[in-house]
Amino acid sequence: MEEVTVQEPVVSMPRIGDKAPSFKAITTQGDINFPEDYSGRWVILFSHPADFTPVCSSEFITFASMEDQFKEAGCDLVGLSIDGLYSHIAWLRTIKEKLSYNGHTNVEVNFPLIEDITMNIAKQYGMIQPGEDTTKAVRAVFFIDPKGMIRTIIYYPLSLGRNFDELYRVLQALKTADEFGVATPADWRPGDDVIVGPAGSCGAAKDRMDGKEDMTCQDWFFCSKKMDKDKVLKAIAKK
């Protein structure tokens, strides 16, 4: 008898630089048309494995406590799991009424939490990773810019809670790169030096090394310049 080979499901996901896949969904804040409803603003779409779980609860308390901070930087938050709407509502009420984390209590989650019981959206965004779990979304994070383009993707396993200071830093760095046409080095934060792109010609490389441009060059390809912290923060606020 011929042996039947069972094909593993293909896990697809959009890539950096792709248009964010569109979908319509029910959320705890009403219906949304994504990402069209967020046109002109940055938005972070993130998934969590399940309602009424401790790591996810700590994450939602943290994100909700930082929501104003993200909004002031011109960025909205949208969560997703494959649980149903009533489960979402009950869980968010429990978070507000009973849970505390890292000094935050009585936290109300005001950003939308998507119902995705069919897993259609999670699969569309590659949030279901069969090697990790076939019935829960991993902790995916998509940064989507005002034009609806995916700019950064970060994935965490089920057991690992996210670093929300890093998520905020990524947003600041992306907006700084767009605003000033620079790159940001390892561990960059507003006020640190930024990276200037490599010289495009031998003449430009020589000018840099001769100190003819307003930057510090360790070699022709590794140049940085100072960027005033207040200037950066003002430029990226609410854009």
Q: Which residues contribute to the annotated binding site for substrate?
A: 139
Answer left, alpha or beta for residue 129, where phi above 0 means left and psi between -120 and 50 means alpha.
Answer: beta
How is the chain split among helix, strand and coil, in percent rounded to 5?
30, 25, 45
**Catalytically annotated residue among 56, 75, 217, 223:** 56
* Distance separating alpha carbons of residues 82 and 66, to the nearest angstrom: 24
Burial class (CB in 10 A: 0-12, 13-18, 19+), 84: middle
CA 85 to the chain's CA centroid: 23
End-to-end CA distance of the chain: 64
- State the helix-helix crossing angle for 54-65 and 85-98, rounded to 10 degrees: 70
Question: What is the helix (H) or strand (E) element at residue 65, kind and residue range?
Answer: helix 54-65
Binding-site positions read 139
Helix (H, G, I), strand (E, B) or coil at 219: strand
Q: Where are the beta strands (DSSP E) in 170-232?
A: 194-196, 216-219, 222-225
Task: Please list the residues that pair with 25 across neighbouring strands.
Answer: 32
Task: Please list the residues that pair with 217 across neighbouring strands.
Answer: 223
Does the annotation mark 223 as catalytic?
no
Cβ atoms of 215 and 227 within 8 Å: the answer is: no
* Residues recognised as catalytic: 56
